[in-house]
Amino acid sequence: MTTPSTAELKSATRHAITEQVNTLSGAEKHLASLSIVRQLNDWVMQQHDVKTVAIYAALENEPQLEQLHQLADGINFVYPLTQDSNGAMQFHLVHEISELRHGRYGILEPHPEHHPLVAADRIDTFICPGIAFSATGLRLGKGGGYYDRILESRKQDAHILGVAFQCQVLDHLPTEDHDIQMDAVISA
């Protein structure tokens, strides 16, 4: 019997966790999202060095964070824009969530002609979605490497937070050397 490769283990974990998230009701996701937003807002407001936060426009099975954009007063929010299918991503300053448009993969994204580019090394905190996280902050994404690549160019003291529904937080995850570890995982 052969031992599964890390890629096979990651794929199996993605599938299993996606199935678990799919069993959550809309109400469960909504309540968990509200709790995550409250926790994030409390965290951001306690960090006096945080002025620019990278956030994302959530897909259906991800924690919905749009209320954080409205709650966290005095914070600049930047949203990801995928550049190509090779894993290139950049962030743009967005003042109003309603300004986002559907882009690659059906994800709401900023428009590069209307939203100023913000270099990764100018971002104080990255809030990262994922398929699963370990209790110690390891992250399993969708497999494109977008966040791993952009986080490599972050400034040294930038905070990295993973957000997830409770069923997405596991004791252990299969990882590879290029996988970036979160400073903390906020879940509900």
pTM for the whole thing? Answer: 0.94
Please, are residues 9 and 174 in contact by the beta-carbon 8 Å criterion? yes
Residues 6+ apart with CB under 8 A from 130: 139, 140, 141, 147, 162, 164, 168
Q: What is the mean pLDDT of residues 109-118?
A: 95
Q: What is the pLDDT of residue 85?
A: 66
Sorting pLDDT into bands at 50, 70 and 90, what band is 175?
A: confident
Q: What is the pLDDT of residue 147?
A: 92
Q: What is the pLDDT of residue 152?
A: 93
pLDDT at 50 over 90: yes
Sorting pLDDT into bands at 50, 70 and 90, what band is 155?
A: very high
- Per-residue pLDDT of 54-109, as tens digits, reads 999 999 999 999 999 888 889 999 999 987 667 689 999 999 999 999 987 788 99
Question: Which residue ranges make up each domain of the chain?
Answer: 6-187
- Per-residue pLDDT of 6-45, as tens digits, reads 999 999 999 999 999 999 999 999 999 999 999 999 999 9
pLDDT at 169 over 80: yes
Q: What is the pLDDT of residue 110?
A: 96
- Per-residue pLDDT of 123-147, as tens digits, reads 999 999 999 999 999 999 988 888 9
- Bridge partners, residue 52, by sequence: 76
d(CA 74, CA 111): 22
6-187: what fold?
Answer: Rossmann fold (3.40.50)
Structure-token pair, residue 132:
């699963």
pLDDT at 51 over 70: yes
d(CA 60, CA 18): 12
